Chains A and B, each alone.
Chain A
Amino acid sequence: MKRNQLMLGVLLAITSASAGAAESAPSATESMAAMAHSGHDHAAMMGMGKPMSWTAYPTLKVKSSGESRERMVAIVVPQNIAADGIDAWSNNLIDENGRRRLPLDMAGAKLDKPTSGGFHWLAAREEQDSAVRVASSVYYYGERGAANPTDMFMHQKHELEIVPQPYPREHSRYRANEDWKFLVRFNGQPLPEQKIVLETSNGSRSELISDAQGVVVVSIPDDFKAETEGKKAGHGRPGADFVLAAEHADGGKNYLTAFNAAYGKSAFDQRSIAMGLGFTLLGMLGAVPLLRHRKAKKNDAPEQKAEA
């Protein structure tokens, strides 16, 4: 039985760690991780990452491991970028895990679950001569009472940034056919009319332009092919990945930033409006006799007779 087509990507409002972390688990394969991470040599990584990857933009793959919910560990693997470590911001910016530097090894960077749990902003950065490249993504550790992540998302972390407005909330995810907003900013200031590229692991590509407030509305494409179920994302639900990328030149430097996340099939996949309405109508019809005025019956109490 497929584990959880239940509540396809809707808020499953539990308060415990339960499904949360698993849900945001992305779809990296082990081999990909190993390949892309065979060393810190820039050229080697770029060369090896490319043919395997569905995009040339820098991305972060996160996979979770550990059997018990309490001891979940996530492994962050950078792709198409040569970085020495991963920076992780937690949704509780002021505590000791507010910002951590995670060392990278062959398998990736380990992100333990801090007691505060909640959302983490992950980034890898590469600076070579006049080129600055940033990969960024989000990971969620389920935890009751985790702090509000809005400040963490809005906090300036790099020069050029793509910030989700908002990110899908806990127990929810990006889904095909949905519109989501992103803010593009440079040194903390919104970038109007900035070109953004969207690429998906299902092969879609499109270009968008930010509005006067630096906001782009991204329609997640419904590009799952009928034959391929898609890769299994957490909760066993078919999933794919998308990346948004922006490039901006300033002060003789060229900045490239990418934000990647997983997305699932459309909300209406494996749902039928027609049947839904059909059964609702059926129920309605069943209640219609109640609407008719009843005739007084022999055994009625006096007040019931009066009513009738």
Chain B
Amino acid sequence: MLKKIFPTLGRFRFTVQIVMLFVTVYGGALLGSYTVDRISQALPSLACAFDKQTADHCILIVNQHQLHHRIGEALVKAQEITLKVFVPTLISVATFFAFFFVLNKAFCGWVCPMGTVQELLYRIGRRLGRPLNRFKPDNVERVRPVKWLLLLVLVLGLPLAAGMGYAANELGDPYCQVCPSRLATTLLTADTEQIALRTGTNINFFLGALGNAMFGFVVIAALAVRQPFCRICPLLSWNAMFQKLSPMRLVKKQYDKCEKCGVCEKACPMDIHEIGREHGNKAFHEDCTLCGRCAEYCPDDDVIQIRFFGIRLFGSSRDYYKTRVKRESPEGMPKNRVIWLKQAK
């Protein structure tokens, strides 16, 4: 029965993603209107606080505000630094981790509305016959540090500096001002306030313009590039800091045939070449979103597995692989289905 509804892990994940898209974008309508009704107020996904109907919101806005209004401001009045200043931040991080512990980075691959929106766009791109622009290994390497830079500067550094008075007050939440999820989720609720550019101050204007342009770029690029924004997302790096602390893992054993195969690399939406070339800890890379596609497309038994406390939740298998590739290529091209535009040509 379950097999009929969810013949593949991919279908199961897609269903979870759609449900979570509704929860994170519109779920507040069910829970109630006050912020205290939010599930955790520190979700490891880009569910956006600016979306007035969200059921929960991301940890990043919490980080920025606490650094700005609590820690930064308290650091200036040096005499007031007590543990109390850090308590709310510690509580937020603990709340975040309570969630993160169970699912690890699956929050990216299964829950994040911004991740889902990009995947949906990529699917549309397949239907429209758009090409796939893959990141080659050295390009991937070049892009990877950007997410750490954004985390360090926009989420942690500038808000702290603003709180301490070293940076303009508008830099209290600079990441939110460029975050594409703010635009994606509010537009999904038909709210046009966020897409309207703030003209109050130069900083607002500059960051807003950058954010809107990046959002526009991501929306179109996602038709032909897998998860273009995820690669520089500061929540990806934030989550990566805690990745090794969760019992949910991607496990890959050493296997000699990998060198000639590399199907998992093709299937990986984050172009993580390590998944094909490495094993053990190195294969569970900081960019991994635990989407499980590599395990789905590995054509040999149990080479790649998703494990929780060491228990195998899903593992690659030859038979599964055979049925999987009949439905969709590793790169995400649907098979045996009408592909409108491409065929019309």
Contacts and interface: CB of A to CB of B under 8 A. Distances in A.
Nearest to A168: B33
A292 interface: yes
A92 B225 CA distance: 50
A16 to B, nearest CB: 4
A7 interface: yes
B16 interface: no
Contact of A291 (B50, B92, B183, B220): B220
B209 interface: yes
A189 interface: no
B309 interface: no
Interface in B169-215: 169-170, 172-173, 176, 183, 192-201, 204, 208-209, 212-215
Contacts of A118: 36
Contacts of B50: 7, 10-11
Interface in A165-218: 166, 169-171
B147 interface: no
A286 B216 contact: yes
Interface residues of B, number: 67
Interface in A249-293: 267-268, 270-273, 275-277, 279-288, 290-293
Contacts of B57: 13
A65 interface: no
B180 to A, nearest CB: 10
Nearest to B171: A6
A286 B197 contact: no
Contacts of B170: 1, 4-6
Contact of A280 (B32, B41, B212): B212
A171 B134 CA distance: 42
Contact of A286 (B172, B217, B266): B217
B199 A275 contact: yes
Given A15-B91, A16-B65, A169-B33, A279 B213 contact: yes
A144 B91 contact: yes
Given A14-B66, A16-B69, A166-B34, A284 B220 contact: yes
Interface of A: 1-8, 10-19, 68-70, 118, 144-150, 166, 169-171, 267-268, 270-273, 275-277, 279-288, 290-294, 303-304, 307-308
